[in-house]
Amino acid sequence: MSIISKYNRFSYVYDLMEIPIEFLWYRKWRKKMFSGLSGRVLEVGIGTGKNIRYYPKSCEVVGMDISNKMLSYAKKRSRKNKKVSLFQMDAENLGFKDGRFDYVVTTFVLCSIPRPVIALEEMKRVCKPEGIVINLEHMKSEIGIIAFMENLFNPITTALTGVNINRETVENVKKAGLNIIDVKNVALWDVFRMIRSKP
Ligand SMILES: C[S@@+](CC[C@H](N)C(=O)[O-])C[C@H]1O[C@@H](n2cnc3c(N)ncnc32)[C@H](O)[C@@H]1O
């Protein structure tokens, strides 16, 4: 099944399934990550639009996702915020001109995009030369036992949900030609990390 069909199916229960982790972790991470942003922001894989409420008023937000059903929930969330526009699009082929955005952001997206390096190359292309790409993602740990478990369970998570739990996301950011500013461990040792990079 394609990613688009998987997320179209999940869209009905996505927010419900994420309630525990949203309350435990995600909402505080989202708040922190978005609080300092301003200018034109591209959110890749905006999903049901959970980040929308955390954008400061100074942001003009462009959100995109491959799943029309996920986007329909984001549309509802964006009604109160006139500075959000939404597009159905593939992250591996962004329909924006070069150097358009001050920030390009993802939260929990690079695990499901089929070719993450291509998507990161696209993020680099549409980001202004002085802009910043921020990826808050879970990825393969550098701790042996955790990486072993992630490799072991990855076939199951991809088959069930399309989510890869063993992506080498810091390496992928580098492979895309982005220059790392910093990488911060956020939770579960180094499984959840926030990566900031520049084109
Ligand atoms: C786990 S959800 C995360 C949604 C949202 N970023 C959040 O923090 O709640 C992953 C999202 O990435 C989207 N996605 C996966 N592959 C994509 C692609 N190639 N292009 C655009 N969006 C994609 C899915 O449709 C889904 O909405």
Per-residue pLDDT tens for 146-181? 999 999 999 999 988 889 999 999 999 999 999 999
| Smallest CA separation from ligand 1 atom 12, residue | 45
Q: Is the pLDDT of residue 80 over 90?
A: no
Distance between CA atoms of residues 80 and 86, nearest Å? 14
How many angstroms separate the alpha carbon of residue 11 from the centre of ligand 1?
Answer: 11
The confidence score (pLDDT) of residue 3 equals 87
The confidence score (pLDDT) of residue 162 equals 87
91 close to ligand 1 (CB < 6 Angstrom): yes
10 close to ligand 1 (CB < 6 Angstrom): no
Q: Domain ranges in the chain? A: 3-198
Q: Is the pLDDT of residue 63 over 80?
A: yes
110 close to ligand 1 (CB < 6 Angstrom): no
The confidence score (pLDDT) of residue 75 equals 96
- Topology of 3-198 in CATH? Rossmann fold (3.40.50)
In tens, the pLDDT along 8-21 reads 999 999 999 999 99
CB 121 within 8 A of CB 176: yes
| Smallest CA separation from ligand 1 atom 13, residue | 45
Q: Is the pLDDT of residue 86 over 80?
A: yes
Cα 189 to Cα 123, 139, 148, 192: the distances in Å are 27, 11, 15, 7
